[in-house]
Amino acid sequence: MWKGTVLSIHIAPGAADPTQSVSEARVVMGKGVEGDRYFHGRGTWSSNPGTGRHITLIESETLEALARESGIILAPGAFRRNVVTCGVPLNHLVDRNFRVGQVVLRGMRLCEPCKHLEDLSRPGVNSALLHRGGLRADVLQEGIIRVGDTVEEM
């Protein structure tokens, strides 16, 4: 059984706004991460209803692999995911419940990269992140997520 950690948390007030790193964030059922673009319905994909829009996560191991394999070195928030984890096999959490600190999430689908991400970061990000761009999740139990919180499957 694995046990991971939250390394950083990121929010952006608007669709193309730079992300801001925060030490903790309130996560609300049916809304997502308080202060983030999708919480307020201002995200690029807010007009497309569907699951997995509450919170996104990405593995720090993926960011390290991108630097090693593709020479793509960006700040963790530049990947536009809300939570950066360490030691968490995110792809395996699709259709599974997991806990991040006091918050319970359900992995809904992979967070595949899009043109918008590449436009806001740099060329090559999309192909480098294919099938390892993170996880989209819905909130089952709300609460506060903090940097340093444990992440574990339920």
CATH of the domain at 146: 2.40.33.20
Structural domain includes residue 1? no
pTM, rounded to two decimals: 0.89
If DSSP states are collapsed to H, E and C, what string results for the chain? CCCEEEEEEEECCCCCCCCEEECEEEEECCCEECCCCCCCCCCCCCCCCCCCCCEEEEEHHHHHHHHHHHCCCCCHHHHCCCEEEECCCHHHHECCEEEECCEEEEEEEECCCCHHHHHHCCCCHHHHHCCCCCEEEEEEECEEEECCCEEEEC
Structural domain includes residue 41? yes
Summarize pLDDT for 120-145 with one digit per residue, the tens.
Answer: 566 767 667 768 889 999 999 999 99
Which of 63 and 44 is assigned the larger pLDDT?
63
Domain span including residue 55: 8-23+34-153
Count of domains forming the chain: 1
Structural domain includes residue 113? yes
Structural domain includes residue 74? yes
